A and B are shown apart, each in its own frame.
Chain A
Amino acid sequence: MLTGGNWSPENLAPEDWRAIATSLIGGAAAVGAIAVFGTPVALYLARTPGRVSAAAEALVLMPMLMPTLALGILLATIYGPAAPAGAFFARLGLILTNTPAAFVLAALYAALPTYIIAARTALAEVPRDFEQVARTLGDAPSRVFFRVTLPLAQRGLAGALALCWVRALGEFGIVLIIAYFPAGMPVRLWIDVQDLGIEAVFPLVAVFLMATLPVPLWLGLRARRSPA
């Protein structure tokens, strides 16, 4: 069936293209936000021992350990139009159910914990000596981060981002509840499988796999070949 089916992207329907655009743009927005806001959190968790950081880590881990459908329902009750948080964002013009912003929110909750845990490990592996010497060579902590910590952790962080990208794009449970529209690739596939059958979705599955598989696989192999 794998060879017999039609996998060619020529057979993508217009709504498939819209789903691809939603997934890629929404996923990229989520991953961008995660890199900017998640990295400092990961650095904090990697560098600060103690109870406060342990509690912060538990908080970060919780969404990762929750069944995604349950998490989606929780998010709907928090960010729904009737809920306080949802109403607050709605006043700012940001509707967080069944909008592109809701898609990004779903991807954020799906992927942020994965990124933070993987990035924390990558950052914790950078020996403190290098950062301390950089301080004595005249750099303030922020400069040390960009000149020493980031370059030394870059492979691990790239791997963490790749994982996070896969989680963001592949998320189904949360989007099913809070971002059914606009449909990303997973929801589109779900709808098409039900309406049209398995073989009809091969072209979109091909795009879905192409968007998620190669880069993480390459990063994983690269990290294995030459540990930085």
Chain B
Amino acid sequence: MKAWEVDYRLHVPIALHAQFEIRGFTALLGRSGAGKTSLLKALAGLLPAAGTPFEGIAPEARNIGYLPQNAALFPHLTVLENVAYPLRGRTRFAAAQSLLDALALGGFAQRPAATLSGGEAQRIALARALARRPELLLLDEPSAALDATTRDSTLNWLIDAITSRAIPALAATHDPAIAGRADWLVLLSGSRVIRQGTPRALFDDPQTKAVAELLGFANIWAESGCAYAIRADDIEITSSGIPAIILSAREHGPDLRLECAAPHKLIIFVKSGDRADMRPGSTIHLTLPQSRLKRLERV
């Protein structure tokens, strides 16, 4: 699979310099407003930018597939007409149908695009983008328009469909769960790329507070001259360990989310089980496994 080297400078609507690689399914992780959407649009040619690749090439001449946040299926067309949109010639509907069939979406062909759910629309939008046989796919917040019940299945389907075709993809997201499934991770913060690497390498060694925050580490604190991070899921409640006073307890789906003082603030999730003692004011004992505790550079 081809890897892409991106080096883009944007000025409008946000000043940004992003230099990174796209390897396989790549997640571009950053907070809202960090410029992820702008960077994707610039790569698609929809915003002015200087750099490689594609500089000076009109959007219609770039061989890319772009999926905006809301999928943007043409509402005046059927699913089949949407997928056939980028194709030319008399066989275009047959080609679109066989593409839909190959993706197990053939049954949607005659549906008006406006009647699809968020997850269905995302799948059809991917089919439409694939119809042009793009060299690179750009996905803007693929999970944003999905409801909780279909979110995971749709995302898994999208990622599987893309990786099985060996098309490099760049997915902008603020969702660490998508980041965890990527082949390559690019972190955008403060108008530049602060880190890139495999998810394993970044999760194992976030190095800085900014990276740990983007990767969803709930606990980041400074202690005797060092900074540490640990995920809420990785903290264990044990009989020995450091004492911690529960400050607040809140239902979090099937789990209980505790905020503790140990004495620095720690957030932990207690799986279903005995919660009798988990009341604010009571003391519990916490173990922070050394393998899960990440030491950060002081910033």
Inter-chain CA distance A135–B68, complex, in Å, is 13
Also in contact, A134 and B76, with CB within 8 A (given A129-B70, A139-B60): no
Task: Pick the contact of A148: B58, B70, B74, B86 (CB < 8 A).
Answer: B74
B12 interfacial by beta-carbon distance below 8 Å = no
Also in contact, A137 and B76, with CB within 8 A (given A129-B68, A132-B46, A132-B68): no
Residue of B58, B59, B74 with most partner-chain A CB within 10 A: B59
Shortest beta-carbon distance, A228 to chain B, in Å? 8
Residue of A127, A137, A151 with most partner-chain B CB within 10 A: A137
Contacts of B76 in A (CB 8 A): 151-152, 228
The answer on a CB contact under 8 Å between B46 and A135 is: yes
The answer on a CB contact under 8 Å between B72 and A133 is: yes
Also in contact, A136 and B59, with CB within 8 A (given A129-B68, A129-B70): yes
The answer on a CB contact under 8 Å between B60 and A138 is: yes
Contacts of A130 in B (CB 8 A): 72, 74-75
The answer on a CB contact under 8 Å between A136 and B60 is: yes
Interface string of B45-72 (1 = CB under 8 A from A): 1100000000000111010111010101
The answer on a CB contact under 8 Å between B74 and A140 is: no
Contacts of B70 in A (CB 8 A): 129
Give residues 110-134 of A contacting B (CB, 8 Å): 127, 129-130, 132-134
B23 interfacial by beta-carbon distance below 8 Å = no
Shortest beta-carbon distance, A142 to chain B, in Å? 11
B93 interfacial by beta-carbon distance below 8 Å = no
B85 interfacial by beta-carbon distance below 8 Å = yes
The answer on a CB contact under 8 Å between A137 and B62 is: no
The answer on a CB contact under 8 Å between B62 and A136 is: yes
Give residues 31-90 of A contacting B (CB, 8 Å): none
Contacts of B59 in A (CB 8 A): 132, 135-136
Give residues 212-235 of B contacting A (CB, 8 Å): none
Contacts of A138 in B (CB 8 A): 60, 86, 132
| B63 nearest CB neighbor, chain A only | A138
The answer on a CB contact under 8 Å between A134 and B85 is: yes
Inter-chain CA distance A127–B75, complex, in Å, is 11
The answer on a CB contact under 8 Å between A136 and B46 is: yes
Residue of A134, A136, A137 with most partner-chain B CB within 10 A: A136
Interface size class of B (residues with CB under 8 A): 20 to 34
B174 interfacial by beta-carbon distance below 8 Å = no
Task: Pick the contact of B86: A127, A137, A151, A152 (CB < 8 A).
Answer: A137
Contacts of A151 in B (CB 8 A): 76
Shortest beta-carbon distance, B96 to chain A, in Å? 12
B128 interfacial by beta-carbon distance below 8 Å = yes
Inter-chain CA distance A135–B45, complex, in Å, is 9
Task: Pick the contact of A140: B44, B60, B132 (CB < 8 A).
Answer: B60
| A144 nearest CB neighbor, chain B only | B60
Task: Pick the contact of B68: A133, A139, A148, A228 (CB < 8 A).
Answer: A133
The answer on a CB contact under 8 Å between A136 and B44 is: yes
The answer on a CB contact under 8 Å between B72 and A140 is: no
Shortest beta-carbon distance, B295 to chain A, in Å? 44
Also in contact, A137 and B85, with CB within 8 A (given A132-B41, A151-B76, A152-B75): yes
Inter-chain CA distance A135–B86, complex, in Å, is 10
Contacts of B65 in A (CB 8 A): 136
Contacts of B72 in A (CB 8 A): 127, 129-130, 132-133
| B47 nearest CB neighbor, chain A only | A132
Chain A residues in the interface with B (C-beta under 8 A): 127, 129-130, 132-140, 147-148, 151-152, 228
Q: What are the 7 A-B residue pairs with the smallest beta carbon separation, nearest first? A: A137-B86, A135-B59, A136-B66, A129-B72, A133-B72, A151-B76, A132-B46
23 A-B pairs with CB atoms under 8 Å apart are A129-B68, A129-B70, A130-B74, A130-B75, A132-B44, A132-B72, A133-B66, A133-B68, A133-B72, A134-B85, A135-B45, A136-B44, A136-B45, A136-B60, A137-B60, A137-B85, A137-B128, A137-B132, A138-B60, A138-B132, A139-B60, A140-B60, A147-B85
Given contacts A132-B41, A135-B60, A152-B76, 6 further A-B contacts (CB under 8 A): A132-B46, A135-B58, A136-B45, A136-B46, A136-B64, A137-B86
